Amino acid sequence: MMTGMERLVAAIDGTPADRIPVFCNLLDQGAKELGLPLEEYYSSGEHVAEAQLKMRAKYGYDCLWSLFYVGKEAELLGCRKIIFAKDGPPNVGEMVIKKYDDIARLQVPDDITSHPAFAEELKCLRILKAEAGGKYPICAYLTASMTMPAILMGMEKWLQMLMMGPNDLRDELLTKCSDFFQKQVAAYRAAGADVLVYSNPFGSTDVIPRTFFNELSLPWMVRDLTPGGTSGIVYYCGSARFNNVIRSVIEHLGIGVFYLSPMDDIAEGKQLVAGRGLTCGVINDIMLLEWSKEEIRAEVKRMIAAGKQGGKFLFGTLVMPYNIPEENIRTMLEAAYEYGSFECP
């Protein structure tokens, strides 16, 4: 039997494997697994690592996550208040940038790995590496410079600044966010993360018009990625569609892994990638809260039929909602293993 890492490498290289790789992004569910409230769970890298390893072993999928929650990045840049929910991801409770003057005061840490807000994640990464390194890909989540301001000042204020200026402050903020990204990606690589999910809803024309994508998003993505290169980088736009920019992303950024939106047409995405990389078909996992077993199997079958032919395909989820019944997670995964098998026509 192949390991998750072997399946992923085979899918990227287009070499034979027992089945397609399956990435199931369970984060908050780790707290349930350990019987802990979310706030307590996320206070410790040991907890997160233990739950990630347990859940992967229990369900058999192919990835591990070092991500706690997205607001962690805001903590690295000065946010001191995270609001925890009982049954969903934590929210940033205090904007780091409340007024434009705060942009000048925003400080990018020199050494992210020694920052207290990174300590638990680093602990988690080390445990995952020691326990499963080389066998199962360890994923890290990084927010692109163009999207980071939404976490620091709120989407509403960021969109206002992006569309209406002042452009000098916008560029000052983007420069700091891009510097932060470059340091963060280097820190994750040094700590042993294999898969670097580059999250950028502003890399989708669902969010910004094409002219903005060409004139702003692309150059800032080039800046983010140039020093460290694109090894391990996964292009991901949150849940926003991006089939229509795949050609530009390949041409200008050289990224080779595309984690589509559930709303993207998988067959079209794969055709656009055209063998130059790995296409990841992503299920609309909110529906797993409602769908019957038959509906789940039918959807997984449809998705895999659209992408599996010719290999270079991965089945994945978004960040799975906390309340998806365990039975539905199993149904989805069993269907993915079955229909994703290369013995299965």
Q: Identify the residue among 67, 132, 153, 208 touching other proteins (CB under 8 A).
A: 208
Tokens of 268: 């079209």
CB of 284 to other proteins, least distance (A): 5
The distance from CA 211 to its chain's CA centroid, rounded to whole angstroms, is 25
Q: Which is nearer to other proteins, 37 or 93 (CB)?
A: 93
The reply to whether 239 sits near other proteins by the rule CB under 8 A is yes
Q: Which is nearer to other proteins, 94 or 251 (CB)?
A: 94
DSSP H helical ranges for 165-291: 167-191, 210-212, 218-225, 246-253, 266-273
CB of 198 to other proteins, least distance (A): 20
Q: Which residues contact 55 (CB under 8 A, 6 or more apart)?
A: 26, 29, 30, 33
Question: What is the distance between the alpha carbons of residues 308 and 249, in angstroms, rounded to a whole number?
Answer: 22
The reply to whether 91 sits near other proteins by the rule CB under 8 A is yes
The reply to whether 159 sits near other proteins by the rule CB under 8 A is yes
The reply to whether 25 sits near other proteins by the rule CB under 8 A is no
| Contact code string over 101-140 relative to other proteins, x by CB under 8 A | ----------------------------------------
Which residue stretch of 110-118, 150-158, 225-233, 294-302 sits at the interface with other proteins (rule: CB under 8 A)? 150-158
The reply to whether 272 sits near other proteins by the rule CB under 8 A is no
Q: 């903020």: which residue's tokens?
A: 173
Q: Identify the residue among 14, 15, 323, 344 touching other proteins (CB under 8 A).
A: 323
Q: Identify the residue among 155, 190, 222, 298 touching other proteins (CB under 8 A).
A: 155
CB of 31 to other proteins, least distance (A): 13
71-90 residues near other proteins, rule: CB under 8 A:
83, 85, 87-89
Q: Identify the residue among 251, 290, 326, 327 touching other proteins (CB under 8 A).
A: 290
The reply to whether 192 sits near other proteins by the rule CB under 8 A is no
Q: 């993505």: which residue's tokens?
A: 221
CA dihedral 240, 242, 245, 246 (to 10 degrees): 140
DSSP string, 23-79: EEE-STHHHHHHT--HHHHTT-HHHHHHHHHHHHHHH--S-EE----TTHHHHHTT-
Using CB under 8 A as the criterion, which residues of the chain lie in contact with other proteins when the complex forms? 83, 85, 87-89, 91-93, 154-156, 159-160, 162-164, 205-209, 212, 239, 244, 262, 284, 286-287, 289-290, 321-323
